[in-house]
A = this chain, B = another copy of it.
């Protein structure tokens, strides 16, 4: 059994890690860290975890973690990992970070979009960007530090990778219109705008002028096509808890029939258990991957405007966070990617 620690266990992503890991057949949760709730059983903070045998919440202590665990998931706020990952790596731990700290390769781009200098720039090249369907499988064996992609970059990256790699997209005019459930905001974002009465029966855009996932999406797409990519990315908030749907509009550099595009996608993801390319004419809904680690994709070509329209859905807390982090752990430890991860969604 792989001994696991989760830092930031009482947030939504942390709680989801615990839920998923509690039924994973190859791991044992040996440490749960919460700086604000240390000393309590986790079920007093997250009552949906009642009935499980879990370690009591403890404060953050790298030496204790090194004694208790082989791998540590960091599910805290942005900034925590770049401050603390080095000391965990030094103690021989493997680290899987779920924050944005190690996703961007360039410290300059990081500073530009996150508004502060990176505190561990020396680790940026080493950190493996773990989007398993796009990341070379052989990169996992030697990885000590994995950056789990953001939720939007996961949905957008999987939606666009085959098209980018095929060289069919105009790389400067891609539009990504994304819609997310509210849980992406996390459990510690406590302000009027996240109250139930403000968001229920309400739909809105946010981060319209600038959202931090833009450079991460561009980094992924640029790697796929070998060119510098610019995207217009607009996220929206849907009155639901979980789920992201990403509608991508790609001006085509040459005419292509929908059947060909579909075949391209089907081929690209043929061996990926967590990506389902739905039949032509069928488009996925977020509910179909609720609680699942899948990403489902539907697509068409609008011949009137020569635009490829690609629609992808994920559960932002599973494939967009905790599930993908565990998929990364599976690969890091030589397990099958699907071990312990849900394929079926929870519907209705």
Closest B residue to A280 by beta carbon equals B209
Give the shortest distance, in Å, between A179 (CB) and chain B (any CB): 6
Q: Which residues of B contact A50 (CB under 8 A)?
A: 276, 278, 288, 294, 296, 343
A292 to B19, CA, bound (A): 11
Interface of chain A residues 285 through 330 with chain B (CB within 8 A): 285-292, 294, 296, 298, 300, 302, 304-305, 307, 309, 311, 317
A284 to B294, CA, bound (A): 31
Q: Which residues of B contact A173 (CB under 8 A)?
A: 173, 251, 305
Give the shortest distance, in Å, between A228 (CB) and chain B (any CB): 12
- Decide if A239 touches B196 in the complex (CB within 8 Å): yes
A185 touches B (CB below 8 Å) = yes
Closest B residue to A340 by beta carbon equals B23
- Decide if A201 touches B240 in the complex (CB within 8 Å): yes
A49 to B348, CA, bound (A): 11
Given contacts A22-B343, A175-B249, A232-B249, 12 further A-B contacts (CB under 8 A): A15-B347, A48-B347, A50-B294, A173-B305, A179-B236, A195-B195, A202-B286, A203-B240, A204-B245, A231-B305, A232-B302, A238-B238
On A, residues with C-beta under 8 Å from B are 12, 15, 18-19, 22-23, 46-52, 172-173, 175, 177, 179, 181-183, 185, 187, 189-192, 194-206, 208-209, 230-232, 234, 236, 238-243, 245, 247, 249, 251, 273-274, 276, 278, 281-292, 294, 296, 298, 300, 302, 304-305, 307, 309, 311, 317, 342-348
